[in-house]
Each structure stands twice: as C-alpha cells, then as structure tokens.
Structure 1
Amino acid sequence: MPFCAIDFGTSNSAVAVPDGAGAMRLVELEPGQRTMPTAVFYFSEGPHDADGPPRAFGRAAVAAYVEGHDGRLMRSMKSILGSSLIDQTTDVGGGRGARYSDIVAGYLKRLRRLAGEPARAVLGRPVFFVDGEPARDAAAQAQLEACARAVGFTDVQFQYEPIAAAFDFEQQAIREGRGEQIVLVADIGGGTSDFSIVRVGPERAQRLARRDDILASHGVHIAGTDFDRHIELAGLLQAFGYKATGPSGRELPSGLYFDLATWHLINTCYAPLRVAEWRGMKSWFSDVRQHARLMTVLEERLGHELAARAEGAKIAVSGGADTTVDLSHVEAGLVLPLSERTAVDALRADLDRIISTAHETVALAGLAPRQINALYFTGGSTGLRLLVDGMAAGFPRALRVTGDRFASVATGLGLHAQRLFAKA
C-alpha cells in the first residue's frame, strides 16, 4: 500500500513519498517548490465543488489575498489544535462558515492528493502542542489524527519533529564519514521550538527501533509567530496607539492590538460591534492620527497585511541590519524604522526562554553541554542570527550544522515512514 510522510507546519508544510527506487523524495507541492505555505484562502464567491467551497492553497492563497480578492485568508491553522476553537465555525466570507477542523482537514486533503492519495502516513508533531497541559496536548494529536482520517488516511502514525530532523542529520553525517555522535536537534519553526537529543551513527541508522537512542525531548510553545507578534507590537502598532496614553492619563486598552498581531485572531477585530466601539473611542487618543490609522486598518481589513509586513521586517533584521517598514497603504508616506536593537529588546525574553529550554533538554538527558557533539538547526526561525548564535554559545565544543530549514523534518519523517511501511 502506498504511504507518505507529512510535515504539517505552522508556517510551511512538506510531503515525502517513495521514489520507486528504494528511497524517499520530497513532493513538488507547487511549481518548482518542495514546500508550501500552510495557508488557505476561501473565496467569497464561486460554486462549491466536491471538495467544498472555492479555495486556494499555499502561495496561491497568499497571492489571492495580496491581490485583493474577496474572502478570508487562513494561516497558522496548527495553532488551533488542542484548543476549543477546533470545533467552532468561523466566517470565511460570502455568508459562508467553516469549522476549523474542516479547514485543517481540507489542507491535509490537498497534501494527500499531491502525494498520490496514499492510505498510510507518518505525521510530524511538536514535542508539545500545548505547554504544561497533557490532556490538551493529547487532544491536539487526536484532533490532527481525526482530520487525517477524515480525508482518507487509514493508518496514521506520529513522530516527534525534532527526532525526524535527527534522522535527516544522521544520513548527512554518514555521507560525510562521521561516526557515532550525540546531536542536539533544534527545530524552531512557526509555532513551537522543539529539542531532542539523539544518539546517531552508521550502525544505529539500520535499526527500526530507536527508542534507546532518543535520550531526551523537550519543547516550548514559542517560535516564529511569537517573534512576528512581538515585532509588530514593538515596531509597528505603537504608531497606531498601542501603549499610548490618552488625555485621561490612562493607557489605551491593549486587547485589540494583541489580537491584531495574532494571525488566527485578526479576523475577530473586524466584527462590526468591535469596529464601532473603537470608532467611538477617538477622544481616548491623544494623537488622533493614531486613531485614524487604526480605523483604516479595521475598516479596510488590513490586519493580515500589517502582520505580513511585521514578518518581513523580522526577516530583514534577522541578519543584524536595521530596516524600514513601508505602511503607505495605511497612510500616505508612513514609513516606520525598525532597528536591530528594537527587535532584540522585543524578542529577548522569548530568545532566552528558547535557549533555556535547549539546556533543560540536555539536563533531562543527564548530560553536560560539553558532551553534545553537534547542534543541528532546522525550522524557518533558525534563520534568526541572534537565536542561533546565542544557542551555539552555550555549546562551544559542538559542531554547528544547519539543515534545510523548511524540509529537514519532512525528509526525516520520510526516512521513518520508509522504515515503518516499506516492508509492511
């Protein structure tokens, strides 16, 4: 029976399938692309087909939004798993509603179709979908499995994403002639920062059972989307009234601003009653320009575009340079500076927590930092120089290796799927 491996990521997804020659390959999910943004755009108009309402996926979904089509862009769907939102219905435009579980299932159905509609799959999962709440964490995996089964998968297995990345590192190390090593895998993506310490090597790679080689796994629900939110709050939304003090001497309410900076909550800011409430709060602002900018965002539904520009600004400063953010679509001539220092200050607490979690993982394995032979970085957020340099500083003896930031997990999941299913 055919099988596949799916890395269903917060920001990007990838799929591996057998190549027919005894190995695995990554599927071309879009023309020339082996990864696809985890994004769905629901069009407000158009007839339903056998798959449901008219939709676009991946880069086409983002393009539909940027081009101004009427509808709803959905991103960061993985963040919904383990929450009560999964069973709720959300407005997707044109008077239509969709359950969040159906949105996740629809995206998985797209991936399954591109993989050739296999019946068996290994799905990656973070070490923790939800921090410190085992019941919700178990519910998140159960919800993801239910979505996978709903679209035709009959055999669904799971593997931790950082362990899958360790398998990818192992193959690379074998090709380079390296022997047995203890590797700390840092998989820092859009929604979670996950760590595993795994013993790898040429002889161990032949085993299907690798439980004894997995020395520790740990994680924290802080990653790229959190970075984007902090950058937006610190670098952009203060020009719209966030943290501003009104004529009364009191700080403006912050709830709306937090929702504007959180992808899956942005749409709640456009509710008519909420917009009307903030329209009537003009006198609360000392700077009426800030109120005018905020109302433009709310009334013209520019929240997702604002979040996208915050993400772009994060990427621009990730290498250590200052940048500017063009917001002329909100107000003519509005360009905001964003310095690396502002970014560092905004992200410091998150970066420190992630680095601390890496060291906690080492302690869970009963090891000292000097016993780690290699650091393997994967996940989109490992492009952030401040984070990678800060983590590497704690392991000065370890070889620093950067994998494919968007495909290492899928490649490793494919290796695991092959071991599970190829001879079944």
Structure 2
Amino acid sequence: MRYRTRAIALLIPILSPPLLWAQNVPLSWDFDEVWRAGGLHASDWAQFTWRGQVAFDGSGNLYVVDLEAHHIVKVGPDGSLVTTVGREGEGPGEFGWIIDLIVWPDGSFVVSDLGRNGLQLFSANGRFDRMVRWRPATGQMDLSANMSRVMRPGPSPGVLYAQGADASLGRMFGAMAELMGTEPEEESADERMIEALDLADDVVAGETVLEAWRPPRPDSANPEIELGDLASMMSIIAEAPVFEPELLWDALPGGAIAYADSSTYTIRIARDGAVLKTLTRPIAPRPLTPAIESRAREEMQRMANPDSSAEVLEVPGFDFAAAQREARAALIGAYGDMTFYPEVPVIAEIRATPDGFVWVRRQDPVNEDNDGLIDVFDPEGNYVGTFPKEGLRMPSAFGPGGLVAYWETDDMDIPSIVVYRLPENLRR
C-alpha cells in the first residue's frame, strides 16, 4: 500500500491540469520614476484632457497624441518639451481626429487621421513629408476598414506591420460598396493576417508576412448580409464565437513578430515566414463551463440595455427613440445567437520592448487571482517572472533603456503622463 501511495503521488503532477502546476517568480512594480508631465498645474503644452496614444523613438523621446489640441507633443528624455507637430485643419500636416500614431526608432513617424483615406508621414524633425493613400480593398470601404487595423513600426522607417481588418466588418462594408456601385480593385488581408505595408510610393503597398491559424467555424457562420434588414446587419456580431482566440501580436526589433493565435499558452517568434523560437508556460486554458457562459451572456445583455435615463436625441422628422428600440432588439437577438468557443484562451495581450523582452498579460474568468497577471520573457525566450495584478499595469509604451510610459490620473481625474525606468533584470 505504501508503494502504491507513492506511485499515485508521483503521477498526480502528470495527470493534473498544468494550470495547477505553474509556479510564478514574483516581480515588483517598484519602478524608478524618470519624469512626469500633466496634472492640474501643468505647463500649457502638458494640459492634457484625454489619454491619447503615446510612443517612444530610439533616443528616448516620447510622442504624445493630444486629441484636444489636435497635435503631437514631442517630449525629450528629461521630460522637457521638444516641439509640437500639427494643428487642426485639412491641409498637409494638419489633423482632424488622430486615430493612430506609429513612431520609428529614428524619430520619423506616421499619423492615421479619421476623415483622410491615407497616412501622413513626418520626418524626425517633425516636418510634414507627404501623404500616402490606402489602396482600395475588396469588400471594404477603405476608411472604415483601415481605421480599425492594429499597426506597429516595421523593421525600417517607411515600413509598417499591420493586422488586417475584421473580415465580418469587411463583408458588411463590401455590401455597402456594392450598393453604391463601387468596384474595388484587390483582395485585402483579414484579422488573421499581418502585412508589411510599404509607404515608399503614393499608395500603400502591402505584402503578407504572417498568416495565423484559423479556428474552424461551421459554414453557416457567415450568412449573407442584407443591408435593409437591421437584424441581418447585427448578425455579424455573432459570427465569431465568444472566447474564440484572436490573433495577438507585437513587433520585435529586427523585424521579428511575437504572436499567439490559439487558446493555449504558446507565443511564437517568427521572421520571414520561419518560427525562430516558442515561448510557453505550463498554464492550460479554462474549459468553458455553464457558469462562465452565463456570466458572459449577462454582460452582453447589460451592454444591449444601457441606462434608460439617458437623453434621447431629437431629430425633426425622425423617430430616434423608435430606431434605438429597433437597434436594441436586433442587438439582443444577435447576442442570443452567440455561440461559444469550448475553452477560454490563456493570453489576453502581448507587448514587446525595443530590446527584445516580451510581456504577456493573462486572463482567467474563474480565478481572479490569475486574471491580469503579466509574465515577462527575456530576449532569449527565458521566463523572467510575473507581475501581480495589483499595482501598475501593462505600459502604454515601451522605450529604449527600459523606459516605460503610463497615463495616470489624480483625484480630479486629470491625466498626467509618467515615465519610469525598469529594473536591470527587465532591460538590456
């Protein structure tokens, strides 16, 4: 009996779910503050009212999107103002509504602006260079499709990595384009693909550099969309199962891409079509349970039924309240048709640093102690440790020499941008 007990004890780690056997090496959020800007008594240039996008260049300058002022603020490594770029307007180098900012290590950058079917390029000194137009895309209205794309700086200035637009939205935009009689010219990447976008010419030229695994779906998952039928248009919400693994990724120095495309804890580092290394931890996805599905459906119903006390827009000759009721009913119907992936992916977010570290945020709808933990891997692919969910969070931007940027707010909800430096074990 004693030997049988010992044998069972030896088998338990093998037979048990790997989630129970992942040992975390604790990391501390105790970073050194380098500078901060903003707040109640900030200088004119740092009176931020929105938490806009931020990005570093290779010299440690931070670029901040100030949506209220319609310009880009460039802040030096010591926290002092270097320059502001752009202003509100429709001319070259002017902005309407900035929706994306990508900065290359040499300080040149590109801005995607709502209302323009293209990208504005700027040199390292902040001078407007030129505009590059998006290419037409089959099944998509250019502006709506391209504004939703996730983009990162590519391996050299003038090259972007960009995830394709959501295929479901693309089908709806395609139906709209057909209704308007437009004839798009070429096929476009979808959300399971990453392109290298060359901005050297007047029109964006894309080449697929990565195509991720596609979770299988039934043939009935993509019904034909009827533009005159609101329920049909809302049905695109139900095309992807809840918890279906997304393509999560970020760009590494040298042109490599770190990505995850399944529900498992598997992150591949790929370049030029080849997988260079794989990052893993013995943490299994959560199987879907009735309780998890019930909580997800409750959240959908809450989203479909917003505060009824909200003011209803009044438009002469148009019953806006009735339109809202119809849209809400269609949305509730779409949510009711939602299907569920059989397990919950472990990974929620991937970020890469300029010196090659990879940060991985986890999700866990059952165990709150695991939800939001952040694992860190070094450039060689070794697991370094795990940040607790209490404390800071995933940085808004990573810079050279271990710089990280965060938006923080005070008691009056006034935002400040704060730059910290990571400890030596988390930088090169």
The bucket for the TM-score relative to the shorter chain is under 0.3
**Higher relative contact order, chain-length normalized (CA < 8 Å, sep 6+):** 1
Q: Give the TM-score, by structure 1 length.
A: 0.26
Whichever of the two has the greater Rg, that structure is: 2
- Please identify which structure carries the higher strand content: 2
Q: Give the TM-score, by structure 2 length.
A: 0.26
- Please identify which structure carries the higher helix content: 1
